[in-house]
Amino acid sequence: MARLGLVTGGAGFIGSHVVKALLREGWRVRVLDDLTSGFTKNLPQSESLDFIQGDIRDAETCRRACEGVDCVFHLAAIASVIGSIENAVFTNEVNVGGTLTLLVAAKDAGVRRFVFSSSASVYGDAEVVPTDETQPLCPQSPYASGKACGEFYGNNFAEIFGIEFVTLRYFNVFGPYQNLNSGYAAVIPLFVKAAL
C-alpha cells in the first residue's frame, strides 16, 4: 500500500509543490489547510488526495488528520516577519501552539517521521556567510523565534518519543504560486517586480 503523507499548509505556495511531488512519487496525500493564505486551486485533482479544511491549533482536527499517516510535512504557519511583529501573540498561537498540537497528535497516532518547515530567519544576522546548520540560532523577530521554538519542540519529541524529526530551513524561496503582490513576499519576487 502507498505511504500516506499529511501536508499542513498544503494549499499554500510551498506546500502545494510538496503535495504534487509526493503524488508524483506514488504517495497518498492528505492536506490540512485553513485556507487563510492557501487556495484549493493550487491542489491537483487526484483520487490519492484528501483535503481537510481546518486549523492546526485544534487538537481534534490534528488528531483526525494524523490517523494512519506515515509522515507529516508541516508547512502551515503565519509566514510573515512583519505580521509577527504586529501581532506576536496570534503568530505564536499558530506557529508554536499549532506545531506543538500537531506534534502531540502525530506522536499519539504513531507517526514515524515529522518534517518541519523552518526558516533561515532563525539565524538572525548571521556572522558567517554562507551560513550552514552549525551556526548558532539568533532569532530577531517573533516569527523567527517561533520557528526556533518549533525546532526545539520537534527535537524534544525525537529525543523523548523517538519520532524522526527533520528540520528544513528555507532561504528566499521563489516559484509558481507565490503571491508577488504580497507585502510579505521574499526578496526575489520583489526584485522581479521592480524589474518589470
**Rounded-to-integer distance, Cα 148 and Cα 153, Å:** 9
Instruction: Report the candidate in 163, 166, 160, 123 with the shortest Cα–Cα distance to residue 145.
Output: 123
Neighbours of 107 (CB within 10 A): 16
* Residue positions annotated with a catalytic role: 143
Query: One-letter amino acid identity for 189?
Result: P
Q: How far is CA 177 from CA 89, 141, 148, 182, 183, in A?
A: 28, 26, 26, 12, 15
What are residue 8's DSSP bridge partners?
A: 32, 74
Q: Which three cell numbers stand for residue 46?
A: 487526484
Instruction: Report the candidate in 110, 11, 16 with the shortest Cα–Cα distance to residue 54.
Output: 11
**Segments in the chain forming alpha helices (H):** 13-24, 59-66, 81-86, 88-92, 98-109, 142-161, 187-195
